[in-house]
Amino acid sequence: MIILMGMPGSGKGTQGKMLADAFGYQYVSTGEMLRHYATHDQVERMHKGELLNDQEIITMMEAVLSTSPDPNKILLDGFPRSIPQAEWLLEQINEDGFTIDHVFHLDVPLDVVRARLLKRGRDDDAEETMTHRFDFYNSITLPILDFLKQKNIPVYDINAAQTPDEVHAEIKPYLDKA
């Protein structure tokens, strides 16, 4: 299993698709998962700017993992987003015997991310929403990297301010060794 982590706009989706295609991984985007598995009530709450709680996200991820032909060939984009989600994922490793081979932290300066998000022009990329998402990432998601390192899971910082092809070229050698 591979996990891609990074701020919104860091290139997780782009790299996830490129890596999945290049190495035969099943690409699992949290955003796509939410669009596929979220209930009407959950969708309504998300449109109001609410975040789903850890258990709601974990329930959806359980559904995704249970349908995977090979959990070791999954590439997760945007999961886990909190320590409780990371703890749950590690429990699944112990129960189901799959491994987390690589965690790639796509590191991008805030000004570059803001410019990327404004350029893509999605509704959820308004200035106030971006600031909230960055704060959430820094306070809730970023600590997962240290948590995973403490659990002896390899975490690699990748300079994601580069072009998509350059970022891919920086990640690829780690996967070529596997």
CA distance 121 to 163: 19
Copy the structure tokens of residue 36: 């596929």
Copy the structure tokens of residue 126: 């308004």
CA distance 83 to 118: 29
pTM over the 0.85 mark: yes
Average pLDDT per block of 10 residues along the chain, 178 residues long: 94 96 95 90 84 94 89 93 95 86 96 90 75 88 95 96 97 89
**CB proximity list for 69: less than 8 A, separation 6 or greater:** 26
- End-to-end CA distance of the chain: give it in Å, rounded: 11
Q: What's residue 85's pLDDT? A: 96
Q: What's residue 120's pLDDT? A: 85
CA distance 29 to 19: 13
User: Strand 155-159 vs strand 2-6: parallel, antiparallel, or unpaired?
Assistant: unpaired
Structural fold of domain 2-169: Rossmann fold (3.40.50)
CA distance 127 to 118: 8
Q: What's residue 124's pLDDT? A: 67
Q: What's residue 144's pLDDT? A: 96
Q: What's residue 81's pLDDT? A: 92
Q: At what angle do helices 54-66 and 30-37 cross, to 10 degrees?
A: 90
CA distance 60 to 6: 21
Q: Listing from the earlier edge strand, what are the strands of the sheet with 74-77?
A: 26-29, 74-77, 2-6, 102-107, 155-159
